[in-house]
Amino acid sequence: MGNRGSKSFLFNSNGNWVSKGVKEQRVDGSWYLPIQNKGKHLRCTLMGFERNYLIKIPTNQLNNIKFSSYLTQCKIDPWFITGFSDAEASFMVLIYKNDNSKMKWRITLNFSIHIHIKDIELLKSIKDTLGVGKVRKNSSTTVIFRVDNIQELQVIVDHFNKYPLIGVKVSDFILFKQCYDLIKQKQHLTQDGFEKILALKYNINKGLNDNLMAAFPNIIPVDRPQYIFTGIPDPFWLAGFVSGDSTFCVSIEKSNNKIGHRVRLIFGTCLHIRDKELLIGIANYFNIVSKQYNVDLNNNIKYIYDSTKRETSLLQIKNYSDIINKIIPFFNQYPILGIKSLDFVDFKKVAELMKNKEHLTKAGFNEIIKIVENMNLDRKNF
């Protein structure tokens, strides 16, 4: 979705990747706990297109899902929409053969957000807030919000002009907007205008397909706009981005304490390495790292781990004080929306048990295990 890099990772409690598997795009967490000597490992999976979710919802249950009131709301803050779009949206320029068209090729533009059907209510709220587009089921497990009407796309362009994207996706939007302007002026119906759009499309998402390259071998691509991270513009942007592209998890690690295990709260986000400055920006926003950056022996900035092999960067905040004093209070004030809000609620339940030292008791630890077994990809109630 969009011009995103591959970003799937498995890591241990030190933030080191320990297994294979690369998907693209959407974050969701799947934590397997090394408990009861069953040989399971702590795992966080960053999913690809939401159609690839490991969780399966029976088709006959799709219409029976009841979403709690905190999963979404009627009107959503515009900065939340931009943050969620930075995580999940795509700006598409589609060109295909059409003998009935003046140029023998047809160009269509669309803005879309394609996610798992369990978040259909969130997409409906985004649609209602923007006042354009349609939400429809794309498969038995996925749903899509799409705006492709040329007049309605003006609302999308105006939105991102006023509430700009701040991730690498902003480069797609800049090129997309230039294509949109050419189409509005009907220049796509001329040879010169059509070729200008081809030159712009060259560096949007997957670029030109083989048919277009063969038909127009002399197209000189327009350079992709340089991406420069300029800072997080609004707290609701961060709430939106995290609702799409972060994970609230609880790890259980073997320990020498009286119950034999250690409980740890972890907030994580994994992106393509070219988005590393955005991760540093998030850490700075929470005042997690200083401007001087605390760098370890592997040249990782504190709480941020790079995998050059997989071209990914991981922000992993697991300091108890940071979680309790910064992460939880922030998202209490600027809420997570969608199904991930349920993970945040469970995350806070575990935090409260830890605050009361109940995680050090057998009863409290068992309660935490029950909570964790229904979080993220293992969630059964939503």
- pLDDT at res. 349: 96
Whether residue 103 sits in one domain with residue 169: yes
Would you place residue 376 in the very low, low, confident or very high pLDDT band (cuts 50, 70, 90)? confident
Residue 191 lies in a domain: yes
Q: Are 22 and 8 in contact (CB under 8 A)?
A: yes
Last residue in a domain, options 162, 193, 215: 215
**62 is a domain residue:** no
291 occurs within a structural domain: yes
Give the pLDDT confidence score for residue 71 in this predicted structure: 53
Burial class (CB in 10 A: 0-12, 13-18, 19+), 287: exposed
137 with 183, same domain? yes
369 and 263 within one domain: yes
| Greatest mean pLDDT among 13-22, 75-84, 201-210 | 75-84
pLDDT at 34 (0 to 100) = 36
**pLDDT exceeds cutoff 60 at 341:** yes
201 with 262, same domain: the answer is no
In a shared domain, residues 195 and 118: yes
Report whether 103 contacts 214 (CB < 8 A). no
Residue 42 has pLDDT above 70, yes or no: no
Q: Please indicate, yes or no, if residue 198 is contained in any of the structural domains.
A: yes
Is the model's pLDDT at 52 over the cut of 60?
A: no
Pair 82, 211 in one domain: yes
Identify whether residues 129 and 183 lie together within a single domain.
Answer: yes
For CA atoms 359, 365, 370, 373, the dihedral sign is positive
Assess whether 370 and 257 both reside in one domain.
Answer: yes
The answer to whether residues 253 and 352 belong to one domain is yes
Domain count, the chain: 2
Please check whether residue 105 lies inside any domain of the structure.
yes
For range 304-322, the mean pLDDT: 89
Residue where a domain terminates, one of 215, 237, 258: 215
The predicted-structure confidence for 91-144, as pLDDT tens digits, reads as follows: 999 998 888 888 889 999 999 999 999 999 999 999 999 999 999 998 989 999
Confidence band for 26, pLDDT divided at 50, 70 and 90: very low
Strand 304-307 to 312-317 pairing: antiparallel
Q: What per-residue confidence (pLDDT) applies to 285?
A: 93
Write down the pLDDT at residue 280: 92
Q: Is residue 262 part of a domain?
A: yes
Compute the average pLDDT of residues 335-357.
95
- On the question of pLDDT at 10 being above 50, the answer is no
In-domain check, residue 335 = yes
What's the predicted TM-score (pTM) here?
0.80
State which residues form the domain around 289.
249-378
Q: Helix and strand tally (H, E) in the chain? A: 12, 8
CATH number of the domain that 156 lies in? 3.10.28.10
Last residue of a domain, one of 190, 215, 240: 215
Structure-model confidence comparison of residues 36 and 351, the more confident one: 351
pLDDT tens digits, 248-301: 999 988 877 777 788 999 999 999 999 999 999 999 999 876 444 444 444 456
Q: E strands within the chain?
A: 89-97, 105-116, 134-137, 142-147, 247-254, 261-272, 304-307, 312-317
**265 within a domain of the structure (yes/no):** yes
285 and 211 in one domain? no
pLDDT at 84 over 70: yes
Residues 204 and 257 in one domain: no
Same domain, 257 and 202: no
Place of tokens 């009935």: 100
Could you give the percent of the chain with pLDDT greater than 90? 59
